[in-house]
């Protein structure tokens, strides 16, 4: 029977590409989203992938969403913790709300979702946890103390789970994208973006599909021995050790 994959933030941007790539490989896919109903409906109509609206920052809302997913798509074997937001500000102006929102949506979400599918993965002796981190969690970034902290936190989370899941057939890996051409980058001023592209040796932004393909590989049986890794996908912009 085909395995079930949940992609958080799976209706737009990188998540959308991951949902599509997993579906193309034969997985049953559930795509979560947070609030953009129009985009989610268009995505569902176009792709036939089931969409589930819940706030990944809210543990109980995640639990209710997972119940629905389990009933209509199947128990989750593969989770891609992809939903994320930015609330950039120089640290001397960063508010508690900007800090908290990003930590909740970009980091605590991974606990909220993974914790509630973990027992099932352990029982079935199979699981794939894929956490979408960021180049800016690896190297830090101006105006992103909140985001860099959350994304670096995801890497630590990934490593700890790798140890804990190993004997139960569960792998946990992080993917750290560089700058990828999605709506998230629309928050970046064009002149700043031009400056960023100038620092990418490949000379362009990444494509969402280039992140999706590594996620598909990490989800596969062939990737069973890759556990606790951070896959850097950034056009050589930052080569992490
Ligand atoms: P987008 O802004 O294009 O899409 C974000 C997705 O996350 C949407 O589906 C959105 O739902 C969902 N989402 C946001 N908040 C919540 C929430 N509270 N609950 C549930 N879903 C939510 O982002 P990207 O595709 O660009 O980014 C995807 C991931 O990749 C993020 O974690 C991001 O940090 C990371 N990343 C992105 C990079 C880039 O250059 N784009 C670089 C490095 C990492 P809705 O449609 O309802 O708003």
- The answer to whether position 185 is within a domain reads no
Token pair 């051409």: residue: 181
Ligand 1 atom index nearest CA of 36: 47
Residue of the nearest CA to atom 20 in ligand 1? 34
What distance in Å separates the CA atoms of residue 40 and residue 31, rounded to the nearest whole number?
A: 9
In testing the pocket of ligand 1, which one of 7, 14, 100, 138 has its CB within 8 Å of the most ligand atoms?
Answer: 14
Mean pLDDT of 136-145: 97
The answer to whether the pTM exceeds 0.95 is: yes
Ligand 1 center to residue 168 CA distance, Å? 30
- The answer to whether position 43 is within a domain reads yes
Q: How confident is the model at residue 1 (pLDDT cuts 50, 70, 90)?
A: confident
Identify whether 147 is a catalytic site residue: yes
User: How many structural domains does the chain have?
Assistant: 1
- The answer to whether position 192 is within a domain reads no
Average predicted confidence (pLDDT) for the chain = 97
Ligand 1 center to residue 167 CA distance, Å? 31
**What integer pLDDT is reported at residue 185 of this predicted model?**
86
Residues with CB under 6 A from ligand 1: 8-9, 11-15, 32-36, 39, 55-57, 82-85, 105, 132, 134, 177, 179-180, 182-185
- The answer to whether position 215 is within a domain reads yes
- Domain around 175: 4-180+208-229
- The answer to whether position 35 is within a domain reads yes
- Do 51 and 73 meet the contact criterion of CB atoms below 8 Å apart? no
- The answer to whether position 116 is within a domain reads yes
**What integer pLDDT is reported at residue 186 of this predicted model?**
83
In testing the pocket of ligand 1, which one of 6, 13, 42, 199 has its CB within 8 Å of the most ligand atoms?
Answer: 13
- The answer to whether position 221 is within a domain reads yes
- Which residues touch 78 (CB under 8 Å, ≥6 apart)? 3, 4, 5, 6, 22, 27, 127, 128, 130, 219
Residue 8, domain CATH? 3.40.50.720
Catalytic residue, chosen from 27, 33, 147, 179, is 147
Ligand 1 atom index nearest CA of 15: 25
pLDDT beyond 80 at 241? no
**What integer pLDDT is reported at residue 184 of this predicted model?**
87
- The answer to whether position 107 is within a domain reads yes
**What integer pLDDT is reported at residue 76 of this predicted model?**
98
């Amino acid at each position: 029977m085909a395995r079930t994959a949940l992609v958080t933030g799976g209706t737009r941007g990188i998540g959308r590409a991951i949902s599509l790539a997993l579906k193309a490989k034969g997985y049953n896919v559930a795509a979560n989203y947070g609030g953009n109903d129009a985009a989610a409906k268009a995505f569902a109509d176009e792709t036939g992938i089931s969409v589930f609206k819940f706030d990944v920052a809210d543990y109980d809302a995640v639990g209710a969403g997972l119940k629905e997913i389990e009933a209509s798509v199947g128990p989750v074997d593969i989770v891609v913790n992809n939903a994320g937001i930015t609330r950039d500000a120089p640290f001397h102006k960063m508010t508690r709300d900007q800090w908290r929102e990003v930590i909740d949506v970009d980091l605590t979400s991974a606990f909220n979702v993974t914790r509630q599918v973990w027992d099932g993965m352990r029982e079935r002796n199979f699981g794939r946890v894929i956490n979408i981190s960021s180049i800016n969690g690896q190297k830090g970034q101006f105006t992103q103390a909140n985001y860099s902290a959350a994304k670096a936190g995801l890497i630590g989370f990934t490593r700890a789970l790798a140890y804990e899941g190993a004997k139960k057939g569960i792998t946990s890996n992080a993917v750290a994208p560089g700058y990828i051409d999605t709506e998230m980058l629309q928050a970046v001023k064009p002149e700043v973006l031009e400056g960023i592209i100038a620092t990418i040796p490949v000379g362009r932004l990444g494509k969402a599909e280039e992140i999706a393909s590594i996620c598909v590989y990490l989800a596969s049986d062939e990737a069973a021995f890759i556990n606790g890794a951070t896959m850097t996908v950034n056009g050589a912009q930052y080569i992490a050790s």
